[in-house]
A and B are shown apart, each in its own frame.
Chain A
Amino acid sequence: MDVTAVRRHQSDGGRPHPPRLRPPANRVSPRAIAHWMIEYLLLWGLAFGLSWGVAAWIADSRWSGLPGWLSGHVWWIPVAVGAAGLLMVTVAPVWRYRVHRWEVSADVVYTRTGWFSREWLLVPVSRIQTVDTEQGWIERMLGLATIEVNTASHTGSSEVSGLPAGVATALAGELAHRAHDLRDDAT
């Protein structure tokens, strides 16, 4: 019954349709693709190296505890890890770039993140407690920054990565200023 009220408000021509969130207005910087790619490359490169080492060790030791179907195909492990890594490095960053969006309206920070799973986050400026900007070494190389908006709840704290450093700094300052003005103590 509650739901229908909003639906009716949204309806047109008598046919109700459920309310949907539109995507936030702004994309992150395209350089974020490069950032995520480097990150995934390092991570999966490490995993690939480790799995290669494990496979070599197993093949050498002729360990008898393994079930028969595995012992003959130990080298499949690094191959599988490598294939998965390659897929991640090529597909995930582009996909993430298409999903990641952000928008700051008059009093709400609205973000969409994720790739395989998506998350929409609405945080009112009045409930913001701290705003942090961070730059990892890859981000510094690419001139990007991550902005972290913290509220009293971990669930209600959002993070936008891949913003151009200048935009992030300006945004953080503006948000902190506005949060100070609007603050209502719900916590």
Chain B
Amino acid sequence: MVGAARELIALLAAGAAGLVVGGLSTAFYFTLVGLGIGLAFHVATWATFTYVVREDRIELRRALVARSVKTIPRERIRGVDISASLPHRLLRLAVVHIDAGAEGGEGELNAVHRREAERLRRVLLSRARPAEPAAPPRRRLARMRRAWYVYAPLSGAYLLTPFALAGSLIGTLYNLGDDLGLVTQERVEGLGHDLVGLPTSVVFGLAVLFLLAMPVASVIVFTLFNWAFTVYERDGSIVAERGLITRRSVSLERRRIRGVELADNPFERRAGVLRLGALVTGLGDAAHRGRLLPAAPRRVAEGLAAQVFGAVPGPLVGHPPAARGRRVLRAVAPPLGVGALALAAGQPWVTYCCLVLAVLAVPLGLDRYRQLGHVTDGARLSLRSGSLRRRQVVVEHGAVVGWRLRQTLFQRRLGLTTLFAAVGAGEGGYPAIDMDEGDAVAFAAKITPGWVAPFLESPPEPG
């Protein structure tokens, strides 16, 4: 059905590459044998794997040892991702990943021709027109600018990459050396002595080098993953493409996008940078696959959010001052508690450290309070919380599948409630922490009057 030779080569190449990397730690001839078996296995897998696209379903058949037919109803397909690693790209091939809801059905088509992959995506996602459609127009919604890659160190997620890289490099070298008989007890001990014997200035210099390497490496890794990050619209789907070496493209069906999430941390906040993600129903690995912009100025991110989903409502309504004390207490209590335990256990130094942490936690708690907010504009609601990882979610009213109000004994005394909007997408529910009791009920009643109004207390009789 597809270009057979290309698949074959791709699978051979992929199999060989995988086995070479994986086989480094075993002896050489074992590797060769393994390689041979692996090749045979891959060829057999490839030769026995077929797929058929039917009116209402796609069938993936495997018939190597155990026969299996995986049938995915086409109306259940929620997204089709296309990714291509370097060998795949060299051979103009791609991996098609079919996502069919949270519980179970996922299908993968390895090594189909890139044009076939695009065709499959079009066909699978446009169930209105099962026939081969003409190439639809694609409209670009947003694209990463070069300058934005510099925002990478702000997110913190990529800062530890130099350590990870150094660790894996040392591990690989050790394995390699071990196999070739280069690593002996004496040499390791000698190396340890050499390291201890190094002058302080050299150690210091190495440490500084590592610190300098952190932001640089984070930018590099970030760029590798998010190179030419482009979001475009096609056929009622939002497609996000990214990656320098492995190119990945994720399509999200527009009618399944229930909302967006705007996230940042204090550093990003200062720089005015946001991460934008989509809340999609039934999307596995949503944190990665729902990503719409990894780092972009607020204006751009909000613009894209408006195009993909709808305008971000604002400004947010703050929460009552009674909530401030609770946020500060919540921030200060953990270090104080640990400190008290340490004191009881007779570790005064730990206690001092905890006291310092507790003092530092006060501004954190205040900021957490400042970031609390909620608002609705009649079609979408927005909730915001968090400080070190601040998140603002915007959800359409129709996506709310229930309300949960939680009130602890302490909250009741202060007249506060935490309102959770249950949403069948993203994390399943988003809290509006420490709202005023009455405001919380009124907020829910405004968004879904039919559900809440029958359960409101009737107003007291006049007089």
Contacts and interface: CB of A to CB of B under 8 A. Distances in A.
B133 interface: no
Contact of B402 (A13, A20, A127): A127
A41 interface: no
B22 interface: no
5 contacts: A18-B436, A19-B456, A24-B455, A119-B404, A153-B428
Given A18-B436, A20-B438, A105-B455, 16 more contacts: A2-B446, A3-B317, A11-B459, A13-B462, A19-B442, A21-B455, A67-B346, A106-B454, A108-B455, A117-B411, A120-B403, A127-B424, A152-B424, A155-B423, A187-B282, A187-B424
Contact of A21 (B281, B456, B460): B456
B132 to A, nearest CB: 28
B150 interface: no
A133 B212 CA distance: 60
A47 interface: no
A123 B462 CA distance: 32
Interface in A150-183: 151-158
A119 B406 contact: yes
A153 B401 CA distance: 7
Contact of B428 (A118, A122, A154): A154
Contacts of A105: 454-455
B444 interface: yes
B97 to A, nearest CB: 21
A124 interface: yes
Interface string A101-130: 001011110100000111111111001000
Interface string A38-56: 0000000000000000000
B362 interface: no
A28 to B, nearest CB: 18
Given A18-B438, A18-B441, A186-B424, A67 B455 contact: no
A3 B443 CA distance: 7
B454 A108 contact: yes
Interface in B397-441: 398-399, 401-409, 411-412, 420-425, 428-429, 436-439, 441
Interface of A: 2-3, 5-7, 10-13, 17-22, 24, 67, 69-70, 103, 105-108, 110, 116-124, 127, 151-158, 186-187
Contacts of B436: 18
A21 B419 CA distance: 13
Interface of B: 281-282, 317, 344-346, 375-376, 398-399, 401-409, 411-412, 420-425, 428-429, 436-439, 441-446, 448, 450-452, 454-460, 462
A45 B447 CA distance: 46
B456 A10 contact: yes
A12 B405 CA distance: 26
A117 B408 CA distance: 4
A10 B411 CA distance: 24
A7 B408 CA distance: 24
B441 A21 contact: yes
B281 A122 contact: no
Contacts of B420: 155
Looking at B344, B402, B446, which has the most chain A CB atoms within 10 Å of its CB?
A: B402
A60 to B, nearest CB: 21
Given A67-B346, A152-B281, A122 B402 contact: yes
**CB-based closest 7 A-B pairs:** A18-B438, A155-B429, A156-B422, A152-B424, A156-B402, A187-B424, A153-B428
